[in-house]
Structure 1
């Protein structure tokens, strides 16, 4: 069953880590939420896109491992060196949830556009496929945000897919540049007003409206950031709902 309305789950929230190293993970609460947003279908379909890390096969394997033994039907769409499915549009429209991994959002957007995936995602979103992801997989759905795609100093990306008209800040609490750079770019009009997430926090959008923030850990927050009357940035805390 597709989601009741176009739905995006944009996060700074990864799969749940296990003890086998950085690529050993369990599905965790963020995937439980994504499946809930998709209407809890029987034997749900979820596909992984690792475009932002060059379709790293180790990360792809880690994604499959996270669902081992479950009734979730997993797949992946890699675009290097060529698409791994014959019909990208049909593949994406057949999913209940799409999960986009982190990495370089600039590279992700460029490669998606070369392959026409950007247009397919708009169609999938409108058809009720839940679009979800972490970091670059959060930024991509928005109008823009801050990125380290170009080097260690954060720069703006202003050509996101724009399914959501807001800007987006990720890792708001864990990387020292994130908050001040995001504030400056919203204040000077480079980015529109938007929403930021601490690590472990996600944003649930129905259509283009934020309906709630969620978290997999205590003490983490989401934030509304907009330009204030004095030309600076104003940040308002949004308390997330804690996921089980």
Structure 2
């Protein structure tokens, strides 16, 4: 998804929209893409780190209630420099305002 956005310059459209006050939202990959760093499935057996849009500092792991994903993410986090790390189980969401977390909500 991010590669396509970067190739088509849609990433810049999203960043500009955010800078102009447009509310951005997303689920799963659409939630972690706003962060500096993403860590998600490379394939059925492996996970990988990749660069996000960088609107929010740190990294987010969606579907943290999945045991395999949780373990892989936790092991990856240990190798990272001090950073903002967020996790979301299914049916949870984060609300940021001006790049600051103001609420974690369970729906």
Residue 153 of structure 1, aligned match among 40, 45, 57: 45
Off by >2 Å, runs of 4+ in structure 1: 190-193
Match of 1:124 in 2: 17
Take 2:40 and 2:46, find their aligned partners in 1: how far apart are those partners?
A: 5
Take 1:191 and 1:154, find their aligned partners in 2: how far apart are those partners?
A: 24
CA contact (8 A) 1:146 1:181 kept: no
How far apart are residue 120 of structure 1 and its match? 1.2
Looking at CA atoms only, which structure, 1 or 2, has the larger radius of gyration?
Answer: 1
Which consecutive residues of structure 1, in runs of 5 or more, have no partner in the other structure?
1-107, 217-244
Q: Secondary structure at the match of 1:114?
A: helix
Q: Over aligned residues, Cα RMSD in angstroms?
A: 1.6
TM-score, length-normalised on structure 1?
A: 0.42
Residue 165 of structure 1, aligned match among 23, 48, 57: 57
Take 1:154 and 1:163, find their aligned partners in 2: how far apart are those partners?
A: 26
CA contact (8 A) 1:167 1:191 kept: no
How far apart are residue 158 of structure 1 and its match? 2.7
Which consecutive residues of structure 2, in runs of 5 or more, have no partner in the other structure?
none
Take 1:155 and 1:139, find their aligned partners in 2: how far apart are those partners?
A: 14
Pairing 1:213–2:99 present: no
What pairs up with 1:17-166 in 2 under 5 angstroms? 108-148=1-41, 150-166=42-58
Q: Relative contact order (C-alpha < 8 Å, sep 6+): which is higher? A: 1
In structure 2, relative to structure 1, the CA distance for the partners of 1:131 and 1:168 (3 Å cut) is: same
Give the length in aligned residue pairs: 107
In structure 2, relative to structure 1, the CA distance for the partners of 1:170 and 1:133 (3 Å cut) is: same
Match of 2:75 in 1: 184
How far apart are residue 180 of structure 1 and its match? 1.5
TM-score, length-normalised on structure 2?
A: 0.91
CA contact (8 A) 1:186 1:192 kept: no
Take 1:184 and 1:190, find their aligned partners in 2: how far apart are those partners?
A: 13
